Chain A
Amino acid sequence: GAGVSQSPSNKVTEKGKDVELRCDPISGHTALYWYRQSLGQGLEFLIYFQGNSAPDKSGLPSDRFSAERTGGSVSTLTIQRTQQEDSAVYLCASSLGMPSSYNEQFFGPGTRLTVL
């Protein structure tokens, strides 16, 4: 079946604009994660959704960042009033998400965001 997909693959925007990044997880995966990969910074955890539970937002860097997951499937990461330091690759991952055991995360190809 299809893997995790993300859109757009590349996004160039002007400082101050809002952007929306989309993630389609693997069908049946209840857990969905967003990460940010900046040059020299590795992977930074942003937010985690598990089923119908309240999301773990502990990694969101500021209140300009928010994410939703509709119907337990597709997720949208929104960045308001973008800043140049938001430029990075935004990665989405999904897994079966059963917390009692490890389930491998499958990563999407990422969205490269450039803020001019």
Chain B
Amino acid sequence: GNSVTQMEGPVTLSEEAFLTINCTYTATGYPSLFWYVQYPGEGLQLLLKATKADDKGSNKGFEATYRKETTSFHLEKGSVQVSDSAVYFCALRGDDKIIFGKGTRLHILP
């Protein structure tokens, strides 16, 4: 079946550091891939998505590229801010339901 594996947290970085959160997936066919974010005290919300191979999703300075050859969708940001502290979930949609990874908690220190 479909599954998503993402790096375990917590990840702690200093402000302005480069961020990578790894995500790999297993799926039949050609799934759509997503990153969701959950800020402290808030609900889950979509951060970015990519629907086919080599697509790059981007939002709020975050980027992720759909790599079919490595079955990966790593999340990157060039310079993180304290306000980026949150839990990040990688997810895929194969049929009609979305399968989520376990989440990676990110702490950004000022």
Residues of chain A whose beta carbon lies under 8 Å from any beta carbon of chain B? 31, 33, 35, 40-43, 45, 48, 50, 56, 91, 93, 97, 99, 102, 104-105, 107-110
22 cross-chain CB contacts under 8 A: A31-B96, A35-B100, A40-B102, A42-B102, A43-B89, A43-B100, A45-B98, A48-B96, A48-B97, A56-B96, A56-B97, A91-B43, A91-B44, A93-B44, A102-B49, A104-B46, A105-B46, A107-B43, A107-B44, A107-B45, A108-B43, A109-B43
On chain B, the residues within 8 Å of A109 by CB distance are 43
Seed contacts A56-B97, A107-B45; 17 additional CB < 8 Å A-B pairs: A35-B100, A42-B101, A42-B102, A42-B103, A43-B89, A43-B100, A43-B103, A45-B98, A45-B100, A97-B96, A102-B32, A102-B51, A104-B46, A105-B98, A107-B44, A108-B43, A109-B43
Contact B97 A33 (CB under 8 A): yes
The interface residues of chain B, by DSSP majority, are classed as strand
Q: Given A107-B44, A108-B43, A109-B43, verify A42-B89 contact (CB < 8 Å).
A: yes
Of residues 26 to 51 in B, which have CB atoms within 8 Å of A's CB atoms?
A: 32, 43-46, 49, 51
Interface size on B, residues (CB 8 A): 18
Q: How far is the CA of A40 from the CA of B101 in the complex (A)?
A: 11
Whether B67 is near chain A, meaning CB under 8 Å from some CB there, is no
Whether B99 is near chain A, meaning CB under 8 Å from some CB there, is yes
On chain B, the residues within 8 Å of A108 by CB distance are 43
Whether B93 is near chain A, meaning CB under 8 Å from some CB there, is yes
> Which 5 pairs across A and B sit closest by C-beta, in order of nearness?
A42-B102, A43-B100, A107-B44, A42-B103, A107-B43
On chain B, the residues within 8 Å of A42 by CB distance are 89, 100-103
On chain A, the residues within 8 Å of B102 by CB distance are 40-42
CB B58 to nearest CB in A, in angstroms, measures 16
* Nearest CB in chain B to that of A93: its residue: B44
Contact A99 B96 (CB under 8 A): yes
Q: How far is the CA of A93 from the CA of B44 in the complex (A)?
A: 9
